[in-house]
Amino acid sequence: MAGTSTKEEQGLAALEVAVSTARTLIAQLQPTAPAAQSKSQNDVNALDLAYDAASLIRAHTTKLSLLILNKPFTASAISTVLRELVDGPLPGLASATELCTADRYTKVMSTELQYRTKKVLADLGTLVQAIPLDGEILNDDAKNGTGPEKGKGILAVTGTIWEACDGIIELKKLGVAGLVIQKAEGYRDLLKDALEELQEWAEEDSDGEDEEAVDGVEDAAQAEVDNIFGSQRHIPPDDPESIRPRLESSIKRLRLLILMYQAATKRRFKTLPPLPHPELPPELNEKSAEDPGIANRLDEVLDVMNKIPDITDELASAFYELDAEEIDKRMDQCFFTGFAVTELLVKNWEGQNDEFSTWAAKFQLAMKKGW
């Protein structure tokens, strides 16, 4: 019996060391800004490495969860899983975030991988913190997050780690092109929402014009209620500020901007070459063979695309306030930003004019004319 007790104590002591080591490493591996890499490092695909590391972390998380929730409690088995995490996938995931530089994978991909890696490490740290060091499996309260100290149970924590790892695995499947398309479609959907709200307001306004006034007292009372509760104002019948022509022009142009997002996705983002890009013709290698400028160009396009929905929201607010001066200002901002997107994408990834180039010229002309 004494020999058995000593073996259990040794196992628990080793487990305590393994838990401490894992916690320390997780704290140290928080993603930082990627640094410049050597040519040998550039041969490693950061997304492939992140995929492999996240897949292993997901599998090891499952093992840990089972080992601390089910009898018999085996300290040596838990220690083995922790050592495997520390020796392989955890450093691998950290290395992947360092290799995923903005000039090779785009800023949007680099930022996204760092964000998802932080989530994996944070959730994994919670799981490691919960590993019992007394030789007993976790009770039902710790398992389910019930009991006097309610919180996230280990089953829920395990699920969040799986989800976080799946997020990194998804990045590999998406690739740079897929992530760019995802972002662009998100911006387009925000623009659609703003347009729909503006159209609904315009329709309400049109309905109001057809209604006959009941009497002056009731109109004044309703105006007072609208003022108290912040109801949106409507265009007066005489329209002294010419709000309605501005509204019609804006709605037409916003529809054009939505088409621009769709055309850019189809003709540019879906035709992106693989990133990091292999060797390109010398005339496109503005910085180096590894960075022909495509990644930076994509980031700039997405930054501009991201601004349009916000400007559109401000444009809608200007209409609700019937502020003609502000409407003109936001209209100019919105539509010139749309011009900027097409200018950045007017040539294809080989630097040549194509079908989209012709469409972009027509788009810009239509925007100037208002349709």
- The pLDDT tens digits for 26-69 are 999 876 656 555 555 667 899 999 999 999 999 999 999 999 99
**Structure confidence at residue 285 (pLDDT):** 41
- Tell me whether residue 214 is exposed, middle or buried, using C-beta atoms within 10 angstroms of its C-beta: 0 to 12, 13 to 18, 19 or more: exposed
Residues 6+ apart with CB under 8 A from 366: 256
**pTM, 2 dp:** 0.83
* pLDDT (tens digit per residue) in 102-134: 999 999 999 999 999 999 999 999 999 999 998
- The torsion angles phi and psi of 288, rounded to 5 degrees, stand at -165, 175
Q: Tell me the C-alpha distance between 296 and 340, whole Å.
A: 15
Residue type, 200: E
- Please say whether the beta carbons of 112 and 47 come within 8 A: no
**Structure confidence at residue 224 (pLDDT):** 52
Residue 324's SS3 state is helix
Question: Which helix (DSSP H) or strand (DSSP E) does residue 227 occupy?
Answer: helix 216-229
Kindly list the structural domains of the chain, giving each domain's residue range(s) and its CATH number in brackets, ordered by start: 2-174 (1.20.1420.10), 212-369 (no CATH)
- Please say whether the beta carbons of 103 and 288 come within 8 A: no
Q: Tell me the C-alpha distance between 91 and 80, whole Å.
A: 16
**Structure confidence at residue 352 (pLDDT):** 93
Q: Tell me the C-alpha distance between 252 and 258, whole Å.
A: 10
Question: Which tokens belong to 312?
Answer: 């559109």
Contacts 24+ apart (CB under 8 A), 312-316: 312/191, 312/194, 312/195, 312/254, 312/257, 313/194, 315/194, 315/198, 315/250, 316/194, 316/197, 316/198, 316/201
**Structure confidence at residue 276 (pLDDT):** 81
Q: How many CB atoms lie within 10 A of CB 6?
A: 10
Blockwise average pLDDT, block size 10, the chain, 371 residues? 69 92 92 59 87 97 95 94 96 95 94 96 94 89 73 88 97 96 96 92 64 48 48 76 91 94 96 76 46 82 96 93 93 91 93 94 85 47
Query: Among 344, 192, 185, which Cα is nearest to 256's?
Result: 192
Question: Which tokens belong to 274?
Answer: 């693989």
**Structure confidence at residue 1 (pLDDT):** 47
Q: Dihedral of the CA atoms 279, 282, 287, 293 (nearest 10)?
A: -70
Q: Tell me the C-alpha distance between 81 and 267, whole Å.
A: 47
Vertex 331 angle, CA 328 and 336, to 5°: 125
**Structure confidence at residue 370 (pLDDT):** 60
- Please say whether the beta carbons of 153 and 143 come within 8 A: yes
Contacts 24+ apart (CB under 8 A), 345-351: 345/264, 345/268, 345/301, 348/268, 348/271, 349/268, 349/271, 349/272, 349/273, 349/294, 350/280, 350/281, 350/284, 351/283, 351/284
Residue 262's SS3 state is helix
